[in-house]
Every structure is written in structure tokens, then in C-alpha cells.
Chain A
């Protein structure tokens, strides 16, 4: 899901950076208002977790690879705004140090994985887990569903960005200038693999850690940026 340099035209790259600017500003304001100093070590671990879980490429035999993002988990534990900051840091490090995701596409990649994913996951989790006790199995189920929908929403957003490129930028003879596949192909490819395989990797990762934390330290499930 890390869009490389050269796949999105300048317009899309620019719009995505412009879209992320206010989100980053609000994120830092909300985190300043709500994050407790005692939660900082957990947020740091969340960013590192997101970084390393994205390195664990899962294969579709004979096909493509993909990975979880860990964004649902961070959003559930610390709220979507804090998750946005943690995943943004992971994505920027991946782009700058490791060339994973383009530097011109940092705005787009952050929009998909550091904004869409944690926010969708957070509100799905909040809706389903509402009123359940911290150690209930409904919370594990809620986390799993939130992870699945969140990762697929991010894949959908990525597919749309890919799919718009041949429409926006092509030569007079019809050759693509950037990502060459149209919206139908992009949607079909991205959504089938994420709905069938990679979404479930995010589910397993998220649900397992939530289940573990329920036993180990349920108080960590209390805060979640205000979810009771």
C-alpha cells in the first residue's frame, strides 16, 4: 500500500499533501490536549510496532504481497489522532531511510494509512464495543471488525488514487504518464487481495494484541482517546 515515487502525478501528490497538513495540525493540537505523559511510551511503541509489522510481507502464493499496518491497534489504544501521528512517523521513516513509499507520495500514503485507517477503525471499534466491559469478548470482536474495515478502507482510498492517474495524466497517444491502470483494474486488484487476505492479517494482529492486553493490563483499554 506504499505508493512509490512516479506512480502519482504532481496534482494528486500536491492535493494529498495539502489534505494532510490540517490533519497533522489538528492531530498535534488534540494530542497536546488529551495525551497523558504516562501514555507517551505506549505511543512510541505503537509507532515502532506499526513500522515493523509493515515489514512482515505476507504472500499470496504465485501472486502479490501485502502486510498489516497496525494502525487499528494504535487507534483503539490511544485514539485516532495519536495513531495518526505515530503512523505518520513510521511512514516518513520508511520513505526517507528505506525507500518504501515515495517522498512525493508521503501525503497520499499518510492520508491512506495514517488517516483513513485509524479513523475508520476507531469509530467502528467505538460503535461495536460501546457499553461492553473491558475484558469482554465483544471488545476483541469489535477490534477485529474495526481492523478489517479500516485496512480495506485504506486499500480503497489507495486504489482510487492509483486508478485516477491514467485519467488525469496521459500522452496524446493515450499512454499513461504515471500509474498505468485505470480505476476498474485498480479497484479489482487492490480490493480483492485486501478483502480476501491482507485485511485478515490486520484482524489477527489487532485481535491477538487486544486479547493479550485484556489479560495483561485491561486498564490500557480504558483510555483510547475518550472511549469508555
Chain B
């Protein structure tokens, strides 16, 4: 099998195991990344929500916020894992697809 095909299999395996990125932090009681807190957590940490942060925090409404389906906040981890794997697959295809097209446009025609 060609190396490229094997690397694609590696990506599929990573996508399937991606919910570890949800389960491990939950299991070890780890919170947000430093500097990536939501407004509520910031208020808990410093006692107020900075005005500029409050204004801009929800500037953008992503279609799959936090790699989950909208309205699934607070669902059990099993459900979130399904959304997480779906997000991984969508993200992998989008990234690979866009870079493939960009690369085809940019790269030298002659090998």
C-alpha cells in the first residue's frame, strides 16, 4: 500500500479516537485551556467580565460550536462524542480539500 493511503488510515484512526480529547479532560477534572475561558468563568476568576470581552466574545456564531451540534450543550459525553467524531471528519475533509485545491493551483505543473 502507498504511504499516502496509510497516512489516510492514520487520520481516520485519529478521528475515531478524537473523543479522547473530551473524555480525558473530564476524567482528570481539567478545565478550559488557559486564556480560553467563557465569560462566566472569567467572572468567577476575576470578579467581573471585561467590557471589551463582553462586547466581542459572541461576535461569531459558528455552525458547530466547540465541535458539537448546536443545542447539544450539556448532553452526555457519549452523544457529544458522536458530534466530536463528525466534526473531526468534516474538519479533516475541509482542510485536506482546501489545501489540495490550493496546492494544485500553486504547485509546479511539471514533476
Contact = CB atoms under 8 A, between A and B. Distances in A.
A38 B24 contact: no
A95 B94 contact: no
B82 interface: no
Interface string B69-111: 0000000000000001001101111111111101110111111
A167 interface: no
A214 to B, nearest CB: 12
A9 B56 CA distance: 10
A102 B104 CA distance: 29
Given A176-B50, A177-B51, A178-B52, A93 B33 contact: no
B107 A171 contact: no
Contact of B35 (A9, A50, A186): A186
Contacts of A104: 56, 59
Q: Interface on chain B toward A: helix, strand, loop, or mixed SS?
A: helix
Interface string A20-64: 000000001001110111111111111111111101111111111
Interface string B34-56: 11100000100110101111111
Interface residues of B, number: 71
A56 B14 contact: yes
B107 A193 contact: no
Contacts of A31: 103, 106-107
A103 interface: yes
Nearest to A169: B52
A126 interface: no
Interface string A118-149: 00000000000000000000000000000000
A203 interface: no
Given A5-B58, A9-B52, A65-B31, 13 more contacts: A31-B107, A35-B108, A40-B107, A49-B7, A56-B14, A56-B20, A59-B25, A65-B32, A89-B102, A93-B94, A102-B56, A104-B56, A171-B51
A32 B95 contact: no
Size range of the chain A interface in the assembly: 35 or more
Nearest to B109: A37
Given A42-B4, A64-B34, A171-B51, A100 B103 contact: no
A43 B95 CA distance: 10
Contacts of A97: 62-64, 90-91, 94
Given A6-B54, A36-B107, A52 B59 contact: no
Contacts of B32: 64-65
Nearest to A189: B34
Contact of B57 (A5, A49, A51, A67): A5
B96 A59 contact: no
A51 B56 contact: no
30 contacts: A2-B33, A5-B59, A6-B50, A6-B56, A7-B53, A31-B107, A37-B111, A39-B103, A40-B107, A44-B103, A45-B96, A48-B95, A50-B95, A52-B11, A52-B92, A59-B28, A61-B29, A64-B31, A65-B31, A86-B95, A89-B98, A93-B95, A95-B62, A97-B62, A98-B87, A99-B61, A100-B67, A175-B50, A178-B53, A186-B35
